[in-house]
Structure 1
Amino acid sequence: MTRRTKKMLIPLKIGQNCTVRVPDVDRGPADPKNFLVVVMAECEGLYTVGCREGKLASKFTAADLQVISENLLSIDEVPDTEIPLDNRQFSTLSVTYIIRF
């Protein structure tokens, strides 16, 4: 089963733009369903991503990230501050581009 999953999930490249889905329990009715991130680093299949407010403290797998074709955010635009994501902080992230698939 893990071999099949590894074949299906293509490794992400550093600098590639993706969206992260916000769980339904962590967002309000007016909050976006996902937000834009850029892949900053990879370690053993877990990806460190960042948005315009800073690096996200959580690490994500390739299955958690949905690749988009446009390059809307670069690594240089991400500040060095680390954002710990708990249940209330998804709605406070300012989302410049809301992308819904």
Structure 2
Amino acid sequence: MCHTELVIEKECANASESMVKQANCMLSRSNRVLEKVDIGCNVVIPIPVVDRGKGDPRNIMAIVNGKSENGYRLATKHGILLGSYSRNQFKPTDSLFLSPSAVSIENLIYFRQAVKLSFICDGQGFLKCGCSGKNRCEQKRCACRKAGQLCNSRYQSNLSCKNK
């Protein structure tokens, strides 16, 4: 019985030490201050999963255009983003993918507009027309043809689509 009690006390002491160690680690992470970003620095802003499709980029590239008490003003190649961004909403990068002359400072746009303009595909997904019958994808009722794109073979692989 004595041996079992010693093992239990040892395990309790180890658990207590581990909890203190984890608490100190969490406190050090929360007290960490993000470095300041200079005007003209290239940054990336993560796009929420809700606002992007499978083939769309995960980030928007921007440049820090200004700084105020409320936060940072960011500019993309499509325009200046409305609102101020706090330092934890974007990440600075080492690469120079945008120059200050490449950004448009004339337009003020919302974040979602900038996201939509930077999409490669059709926004939150790919077009699917689902055409069937004799005149498959020959008419303007086909969503793909209406958008000026070819039909995707992913959902029409076995059909004889006229718009591939």
- The TM-score bracket by the shorter chain reads 0.7 to 0.9
Aligned-pair distance for 1:89? 5.2
2:107 maps to which residue? 81
Structure 2 residue corresponding to 1:42, chosen from 55, 59, 67? 67
- Root-mean-square deviation (CA, aligned residues, Å) is 2.3
Deviation at 1:65, TM superposition (A): 1.0
Q: Relative to structure 1, is the Cα distance of residues 84 and 58 closer, same or farther in structure 2, using a 3 angstrom cutoff?
A: same
Helix, strand or coil at the partner of 1:76: coil
1:55 and 2:97 aligned? no
Residue identity opposite 1:81 in structure 2: N
Note the residue ranges of structure 1 that are not aligned, 5 or more in a row: 96-101
Partner of 2:18: none
Q: How many angstroms does 1:51 deviate by?
A: 0.9
Unaligned runs of 5+ in 2: 1-26, 121-164
Q: Deviations over 1:19-68 (max 9, x none)?
A: 00001111112211102100000111511111111111132111111111
SS of aligned partner of 2:43: strand
1:10 is paired with a residue whose SS is: coil
Give the corresponding residue for 2:31. 4
Residue in 1 that maps onto 2:4: none
TM-score in terms of structure 2 length: 0.49
Q: Is the 8 A contact 1:17 1:71 kept in 2?
A: yes
Higher relative contact order (CA 8 A, sep 6+): 1
Task: Tell me the SS of whatever aligns to 1:9.
Answer: coil
Structure with higher Rg: it is 2
What amino acid does structure 1 have at the position aligned with 2:31? R
Count of aligned residue pairs for this structure pair: 91
* Structure-1-length-normalised TM-score: 0.76
Q: Which has the higher strand share?
A: 1
